[in-house]
Protein backbone atom coordinates (compact mmCIF):
# COMPACT_ATOMS: atom_id res chain seq x y z
CA UNK A 1 0.00 0.00 0.00
CA UNK A 2 1.46 3.36 -1.02
CA UNK A 3 0.41 6.18 1.29
CA UNK A 4 -0.19 9.73 0.05
CA UNK A 5 2.51 12.35 0.42
CA UNK A 6 0.59 14.98 2.27
CA UNK A 7 1.51 18.37 3.68
CA UNK A 8 -0.53 20.41 6.12
CA UNK A 9 -0.78 24.03 4.91
CA UNK A 10 -2.60 26.45 7.22
CA UNK A 11 -4.35 23.48 8.81
CA UNK A 12 -5.54 22.06 5.47
CA UNK A 13 -4.29 18.88 3.77
CA UNK A 14 -2.39 19.35 0.47
CA UNK A 15 -1.29 16.48 -1.82
CA UNK A 16 2.34 17.24 -2.66
CA UNK A 17 2.59 14.71 -5.53
CA UNK A 18 -0.46 16.11 -7.33
CA UNK A 19 0.05 19.76 -6.32
CA UNK A 20 -3.63 19.89 -5.43
CA UNK A 21 -5.91 20.27 -2.43
CA UNK A 22 -8.16 17.63 -0.85
CA UNK A 23 -10.96 20.04 -0.13
CA UNK A 24 -11.71 23.70 -0.77
CA UNK A 25 -9.88 26.31 1.25
CA UNK A 26 -13.07 28.36 1.14
CA UNK A 27 -15.33 25.74 2.66
CA UNK A 28 -14.85 22.09 1.83
CA UNK A 29 -18.12 20.99 3.33
CA UNK A 30 -20.16 23.54 1.36
CA UNK A 31 -18.33 22.50 -1.80
CA UNK A 32 -19.30 18.86 -1.22
CA UNK A 33 -22.92 19.93 -0.67
CA UNK A 34 -22.92 22.07 -3.81
CA UNK A 35 -21.11 19.72 -6.17
CA UNK A 36 -22.02 16.24 -5.01
CA UNK A 37 -25.18 16.45 -2.89
CA UNK A 38 -27.04 19.00 -5.03
CA UNK A 39 -25.43 17.74 -8.25
CA UNK A 40 -27.02 14.30 -7.66
CA UNK A 41 -30.19 15.65 -5.95
CA UNK A 42 -29.47 13.41 -2.98
CA UNK A 43 -31.66 15.34 -0.52
CA UNK A 44 -34.68 14.82 -2.78
CA UNK A 45 -33.88 11.18 -3.54
CA UNK A 46 -32.87 9.84 -0.11
CA UNK A 47 -36.35 10.06 1.51
CA UNK A 48 -37.74 7.82 -1.31
CA UNK A 49 -34.91 5.28 -1.27
CA UNK A 50 -36.95 2.42 0.24
CA UNK A 51 -34.90 -0.23 -1.57
CA UNK A 52 -31.52 1.17 -0.52
CA UNK A 53 -29.03 3.34 -2.38
CA UNK A 54 -25.56 2.81 -3.84
CA UNK A 55 -23.03 5.58 -4.28
CA UNK A 56 -19.74 5.11 -6.10
CA UNK A 57 -16.98 7.66 -5.57
CA UNK A 58 -13.59 7.97 -7.22
CA UNK A 59 -10.96 9.25 -4.74
CA UNK A 60 -11.86 8.77 -1.06
CA UNK A 61 -9.13 11.12 0.22
CA UNK A 62 -10.02 12.42 3.67
CA UNK A 63 -13.54 10.97 3.50
CA UNK A 64 -15.24 14.37 3.60
CA UNK A 65 -17.73 13.46 0.86
CA UNK A 66 -18.49 10.25 2.71
CA UNK A 67 -19.16 12.03 6.02
CA UNK A 68 -21.39 14.66 4.41
CA UNK A 69 -23.40 12.16 2.36
CA UNK A 70 -23.66 9.55 5.13
CA UNK A 71 -24.94 12.19 7.56
CA UNK A 72 -27.64 13.21 5.07
CA UNK A 73 -28.57 9.57 4.60
CA UNK A 74 -28.98 9.00 8.33
CA UNK A 75 -31.14 12.14 8.58
CA UNK A 76 -33.32 11.68 5.49
CA UNK A 77 -33.58 8.05 4.37
CA UNK A 78 -36.26 5.58 5.51
CA UNK A 79 -35.06 4.07 8.80
CA UNK A 80 -34.83 0.48 7.50
CA UNK A 81 -33.09 1.36 4.23
CA UNK A 82 -29.36 0.89 3.59
CA UNK A 83 -26.69 3.08 1.96
CA UNK A 84 -23.69 1.36 0.44
CA UNK A 85 -20.97 3.92 -0.20
CA UNK A 86 -18.31 2.46 -2.49
CA UNK A 87 -15.12 4.43 -2.90
CA UNK A 88 -11.68 3.88 -4.41
CA UNK A 89 -8.38 5.31 -3.25
CA UNK A 90 -5.00 4.71 -4.86
CA UNK A 91 -2.92 6.63 -2.32
CA UNK A 92 -4.66 6.50 1.08
CA UNK A 93 -3.75 9.05 3.71
CA UNK A 94 -2.15 7.65 6.86
CA UNK A 95 -4.20 6.96 9.96
CA UNK A 96 -2.54 9.93 11.72
CA UNK A 97 -3.42 12.27 8.85
CA UNK A 98 -6.96 10.89 8.80
CA UNK A 99 -7.31 11.67 12.51
CA UNK A 100 -6.12 15.25 11.84
CA UNK A 101 -8.44 15.63 8.85
CA UNK A 102 -11.38 14.39 10.93
CA UNK A 103 -10.65 16.99 13.62
CA UNK A 104 -11.33 19.63 10.97
CA UNK A 105 -15.01 18.56 10.92
CA UNK A 106 -16.22 18.19 14.54
CA UNK A 107 -19.83 18.12 13.28
CA UNK A 108 -19.19 14.57 12.05
CA UNK A 109 -17.58 13.40 15.29
CA UNK A 110 -20.17 10.71 15.98
CA UNK A 111 -19.76 9.08 12.58
CA UNK A 112 -15.97 9.45 12.75
CA UNK A 113 -15.99 7.55 16.04
CA UNK A 114 -17.43 4.53 14.23
CA UNK A 115 -15.24 5.03 11.15
CA UNK A 116 -11.75 5.61 12.61
CA UNK A 117 -11.28 2.18 14.28
CA UNK A 118 -11.98 0.59 10.87
CA UNK A 119 -9.56 2.96 9.10
CA UNK A 120 -6.87 1.96 11.59
CA UNK A 121 -7.16 -1.58 10.12
CA UNK A 122 -7.00 -0.42 6.48
CA UNK A 123 -5.61 -3.00 4.05
CA UNK A 124 -4.83 -3.06 0.33
CA UNK A 125 -7.68 -4.22 -1.91
CA UNK A 126 -11.27 -4.34 -0.71
CA UNK A 127 -12.31 -3.17 2.77
CA UNK A 128 -15.97 -3.63 3.75
CA UNK A 129 -17.02 -1.87 6.93
CA UNK A 130 -20.49 -1.76 8.49
CA UNK A 131 -20.30 1.73 9.96
CA UNK A 132 -23.87 1.80 11.35
CA UNK A 133 -26.83 -0.56 10.75
CA UNK A 134 -27.98 1.76 7.89
CA UNK A 135 -24.56 2.37 6.36
CA UNK A 136 -21.79 0.30 4.77
CA UNK A 137 -18.53 1.70 3.45
CA UNK A 138 -16.81 -0.40 0.80
CA UNK A 139 -13.38 1.16 0.37
CA UNK A 140 -11.08 -0.16 -2.34
CA UNK A 141 -7.43 0.65 -1.79
CA UNK A 142 -6.45 0.38 -5.44
CA UNK A 143 -6.37 2.38 -8.63
CA UNK A 144 -9.93 3.17 -9.63
CA UNK A 145 -9.29 1.33 -12.90
CA UNK A 146 -8.39 -1.87 -11.07
CA UNK A 147 -11.20 -1.59 -8.54
CA UNK A 148 -14.22 -0.71 -10.70
CA UNK A 149 -14.08 -3.84 -12.90
CA UNK A 150 -14.54 -5.87 -9.68
CA UNK A 151 -17.55 -3.89 -8.48
CA UNK A 152 -20.98 -5.41 -9.18
CA UNK A 153 -23.37 -2.86 -7.61
CA UNK A 154 -25.43 -0.52 -9.76
CA UNK A 155 -24.62 3.09 -8.93
CA UNK A 156 -27.57 5.29 -8.05
CA UNK A 157 -25.13 8.19 -7.97
CA UNK A 158 -21.51 8.76 -8.98
CA UNK A 159 -19.28 11.24 -7.16
CA UNK A 160 -16.44 11.99 -9.57
CA UNK A 161 -13.68 13.37 -7.40
CA UNK A 162 -9.95 12.73 -7.81
CA UNK A 163 -7.90 15.91 -8.30
CA UNK A 164 -8.19 18.20 -11.29
CA UNK A 165 -8.00 16.39 -14.68
CA UNK A 166 -4.98 18.51 -15.69
CA UNK A 167 -3.09 17.27 -12.62
CA UNK A 168 -4.32 13.68 -12.77
CA UNK A 169 -5.04 12.93 -16.45
CA UNK A 170 -4.82 9.14 -16.19
CA UNK A 171 -7.83 8.88 -13.90
CA UNK A 172 -10.25 10.80 -16.12
CA UNK A 173 -10.01 8.31 -18.96
CA UNK A 174 -12.26 6.49 -21.39
CA UNK A 175 -11.81 3.37 -19.22
CA UNK A 176 -13.38 5.16 -16.28
CA UNK A 177 -16.37 6.32 -18.36
CA UNK A 178 -16.86 2.80 -19.78
CA UNK A 179 -16.85 1.30 -16.29
CA UNK A 180 -19.35 3.95 -15.22
CA UNK A 181 -21.66 2.92 -18.06
CA UNK A 182 -21.29 -0.76 -17.08
CA UNK A 183 -22.32 0.02 -13.50
CA UNK A 184 -25.16 2.43 -14.40
CA UNK A 185 -28.86 1.98 -15.20
CA UNK A 186 -30.79 4.31 -17.52
CA UNK A 187 -33.05 6.82 -15.74
CA UNK A 188 -31.58 5.83 -12.36
CA UNK A 189 -27.86 6.57 -12.27
CA UNK A 190 -26.71 10.17 -11.96
CA UNK A 191 -23.27 11.73 -11.68
CA UNK A 192 -21.71 15.02 -10.70
CA UNK A 193 -18.22 16.43 -10.62
CA UNK A 194 -16.48 19.71 -9.78
CA UNK A 195 -14.79 19.86 -13.19
CA UNK A 196 -16.23 20.87 -16.55
CA UNK A 197 -13.13 19.93 -18.56
CA UNK A 198 -14.01 19.36 -22.22
CA UNK A 199 -12.60 15.85 -22.50
CA UNK A 200 -14.47 14.74 -19.36
CA UNK A 201 -17.72 16.08 -20.83
CA UNK A 202 -17.11 14.42 -24.17
CA UNK A 203 -16.05 11.14 -22.54
CA UNK A 204 -19.23 10.98 -20.46
CA UNK A 205 -21.39 11.82 -23.48
CA UNK A 206 -19.71 9.11 -25.53
CA UNK A 207 -20.31 6.58 -22.74
CA UNK A 208 -24.06 7.28 -22.75
CA UNK A 209 -24.53 10.03 -20.15
CA UNK A 210 -26.40 13.25 -20.73
CA UNK A 211 -24.32 16.13 -19.41
CA UNK A 212 -25.44 19.49 -18.06
CA UNK A 213 -23.56 22.49 -16.70
CA UNK A 214 -24.26 24.61 -13.67
CA UNK A 215 -22.22 27.20 -11.78
CA UNK A 216 -19.32 25.68 -9.89
CA UNK A 217 -18.51 26.27 -6.24
CA UNK A 218 -16.64 29.39 -5.13
CA UNK A 219 -14.34 30.69 -7.84
CA UNK A 220 -15.07 27.78 -10.21
CA UNK A 221 -17.16 29.01 -13.10
CA UNK A 222 -18.82 25.72 -14.04
CA UNK A 223 -19.29 22.12 -12.95
CA UNK A 224 -21.10 19.28 -14.70
CA UNK A 225 -23.77 16.80 -13.68
CA UNK A 226 -26.19 14.51 -15.44
CA UNK A 227 -27.69 11.07 -15.74
CA UNK A 228 -27.24 7.85 -17.66
CA UNK A 229 -29.29 7.48 -20.82
CA UNK A 230 -28.09 4.01 -21.80
CA UNK A 231 -25.19 2.49 -23.69
CA UNK A 232 -24.80 4.28 -27.05
Ligand X SMILES: C[S@@+](CC[C@H](N)C(=O)[O-])C[C@H]1O[C@@H](n2cnc3c(N)ncnc32)[C@H](O)[C@@H]1O
Q: Closest residue (Cβ) to ligand X? A: 59
* Total residues in contact with ligand X, by rule CB under 6 A: 21
Q: Is 37 in the site for ligand X (CB under 6 A)?
A: no
Q: Is 144 in the site for ligand X (CB under 6 A)?
A: yes
- Write out the DSSP string of the chain: -----EEEETTEEEETTTTEESS-TTTHHHHHIIIIIITTTHHHHGGG-TT-EEEEEE--TTSHHHHHHHHHHHHHS-TT--EEEEEEESSPPPHHHHHHHHHT-GGGHHHHHHHHHHHTT--SEEEEEEEETTEEEEEEES-HHHHGGG--SPPSEEEE-SS-TTT-TTTSSHHHHHHHHHT--TTT-EEEES---HHHHHHHHHTTEEEEEEE-STT--EEEEEEE----
Among 4, 6, 151, 207, binds ligand X (CB under 6 A): 4
Q: Is 62 in the site for ligand X (CB under 6 A)?
A: yes
Q: Is 65 in the site for ligand X (CB under 6 A)?
A: yes
Among 42, 64, 102, 160, binds ligand X (CB under 6 A): 64
Q: Is 61 in the site for ligand X (CB under 6 A)?
A: yes
Q: Which of residues 191-210 bind ligand X (CB under 6 A)?
A: none
Q: Which of residues 149-178 bind ligand X (CB under 6 A)?
A: 161-163, 168, 171
CB of 205 to ligand X, least distance (A): 22
Between residues 14 and 114, which has the closer beta carbon with respect to ligand X? 14
Residue ranges binding ligand X (CB under 6 A): 4, 22-23, 59-65, 88-91, 143-144, 161-163, 168, 171
Amino acid sequence: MQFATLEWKNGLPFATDFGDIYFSNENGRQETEHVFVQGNQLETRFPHAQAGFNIIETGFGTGLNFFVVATKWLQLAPANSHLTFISTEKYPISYTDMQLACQHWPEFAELQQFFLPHYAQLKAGQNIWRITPQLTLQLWIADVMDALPKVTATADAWLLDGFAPARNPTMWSEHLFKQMARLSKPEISTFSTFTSAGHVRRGLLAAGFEVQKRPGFGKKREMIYGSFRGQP
